[in-house]
Structures are given as C-alpha cells and as structure tokens.
A and B are shown apart, each in its own frame.
Chain A
C-alpha cells in the first residue's frame, strides 16, 4: 500500500514537472533556432540537431529601423507601470483594509462587509465592461496612451486584490494586539505602524505578489488604452506575430517577460515556506 502510494506520488510529481517544464525548455531551445531549424523538421539538441543562433534574441534589442523590434522600452514601461501601481495599491489598500477590519462603518444600509464586497466586485466584473468607461475617462482627462493613465487604471484593478487579501489577514490578527499597543502607550497611528504593520509582512508580501503578477500579465487594458506613444510588454510581444511567425524571437521575448515573475516567486517563496503566513499570530 505505502509502496504503491510512494510510486504514485513520485509518478505524478514527475509527470507534472515534465508537463510544466517541457514547454519552457522547448521555448528556450526554440529561441536559439533559426527559420531553417524550426520549419524543416523537429529538432531538439543544439549543435547536434541544429546550429544554435542568437538571432532571435538580437532582434529584441535592435531598433525597428534596423529590422529589429526593440522590446527594451516596453519592458521598462511595464516595470514602471506594474511597480508604481502595485506600490500605491498596497499602501492605500492596506490602510483601507485595516480600517475595514477594525472600525465599524455605518451609512444607511451599508456596513463594513458591503464596502469590502464593493472592492471585490470590481474584480468580478468582466474587464470588457470596464473598457469603454475607462477609455472615455482617460480620453476626457487626456491620459490616453500615457504611462500615468495606465498607472491610474491599474490601481483600480489591483487595489481590490490588496484590500481583499489584507482584510482577511487583519481579521486574523487578534484585536487584542492593537488594544495592548494602545494600553502600552501607542496612539492609534503608532499602534498601526509599530505593531500591526510589522506583524503583517507575510500578508503584505502575498498581496504585493498578486498585485505584481496581475499587473504584469495584463494584456487587455494595455492593448486598449495605448496606441503609439506608449507600449507595454505583453502588447509588444503579441505584436511580434506578423505574416511569418518568428518563433525564435517570440520564444525569446516570452522568456524575457516571465523572468521577473520567476525572480519574484523565488524571493517570495522564502517567506511563504517559513510557514508564518497565517501562523505568525496565535
């Protein structure tokens, strides 16, 4: 029984790993191929099967004037928009979540839970519903096709995630902890940043991670709200696909665009694996 279990366990782990890693390796290998190696026959092993070339990668940093596609600028645009929007969302979202978790709001029939649901409902709505209002809104205030406009839209998209995660997190931090801080001579602001915040780091990291992921991978709004002035990475990568699909540079750009998420995952994993995500407080 236990042998069978061990066998099945490793079988599925191996299966899943191959399932996940194989396309990735395929992309790595494809990014070093040229037109010949991709289109003639299926090739696997560099030097033996095909002659590796850096052409797919070079195209990415060459300016369009020289026949390249230059993803450097969209890359930094994406980093700027994602980081700025995530940071603002986390700061505002955490404050909102703390208030929603600790204070009681009453306005007509609206209570704390209704406000929290209002935040979350922004994510339940299909993005397509929001596209036209956002478009009109940004064009009215003159921020269409600009980084600032994208930051504003992304804050609207990301803050609900931050509020949602942090409300849940703060609800699990005992209220007595804040009260003890007050009794020990902290005013409410000091209680928040001296006691509650340092104990919320795992929650902040998770919220930050989700904000960065959702901000980074968004294609829809980046596509609709930008034209020529500003381009974000996902749009640029998809735009590579023209009459002839350049599999090599498409693979290379895909790898470059997942790299930051992999780095984020490795950093965050250290905190998550400590097991102090929820067990930080009894």
Chain B
C-alpha cells in the first residue's frame, strides 16, 4: 500500500560499512529497493536503471560528490540527498548549488535519515503520495479534502486547512513551528498571521477531533508550534 517505500534509492559512499548501515536502516524502515555504489563511476552506471532518489557522499575516490551530483542533474531530475562528513557551511552551500534537495552531516541519527528521505520522496512524487491517513477518531483524505468519520457524513476541508494538514502530515509526529505553518498559510512569517493560523487550527480541530477542546491528534506545543499525531504511530 505504501508507494513511497517502493521507490528505488541509490546509496553512494566509499565506506562499505556506511553503505551497509544505511542499507540496513532503510530496510528496517520498509525501503526494499536499494542500490549501492562505492565510486562515482559505479554510481553513474547504476543511474541507468533510473533510481527514484540518490544519496551521495561528497568524498569519493574518483570524483567529488558535488561534480557527481552535477553530472546526474544534467541527465535527470532525480532528487539528491548529500550524506557527508563535510559539515562546513561552505560545503552545504556548494551542495545546494549543484542541485541537492537536502544535505545531512555525518554522524546522524537513523530516524532523521529516514524522515528526510521520506520527506524528499513525498515532495518529489506527489502524484503517488499517500493522500489519506488515519487519525485517532477519523480518516483524512487530502486529495478529496474530506474528513470521514464512522457513521457520519464526510466533512469538507477548506484549501487552507488542507495546506496546513499537508504540512503537518509531512512532518507527522514532529513539531512544526508556528513560523513554518504561517509560511504555509500566508507565504510569510508572522505579522498578525498567528491569529489567522490559530483560527484555522481551531476549525481543523472541530473537524478531526472527537473533543476539539482537548485535542489528541492535532496537539499544541505552547509557544512553539503544532504536532500531528497519526493513529498507529507513537513517536
């Protein structure tokens, strides 16, 4: 059922142990189609099978990762995540310059690695994105912009509410800051948007929560932001 987990991911790193670890982390999290390469040349060969995403190290024996990313970008738009020990801000900016979608610095936590990959895949392959998810007391379908509750008529979501839920869902189980949400709703941070945001949240709660006054799915983190809690996931 999970289309994102079916995507092919190409891992490129000259350190076999790291490749092995990344592979095992991804497999544990349900990603089955994983390719590995330990040189840039090898990676370019593997690109012929058109993986859905590439995870690159910067320091490779035959070519640096930035050049590799550039070469890949010339041929297709496969999303690229840099996973490297080079954590300098200059390296990061270079990474994004050559067209990376994200940049992670080693050492890293397995969960974050998976979140970021999932987020990139969701962003890139919208058409196949899961657009519906289960909450404590209802099912939300973002495509249809509707909320289904057992034994009740579907409730319609407004466009803004869908936007907010999309943002929260993409980061499900994690806090989304007020700034990030305001940006989603209004395209800019703040200046009175917080109140607008709060009223949107209130409306969403009325639609998805059993008891809007004591929410369990859309949780407020005071002063910081909001968090969406999915039904079968406790994070």
Do A and B actually bind? no
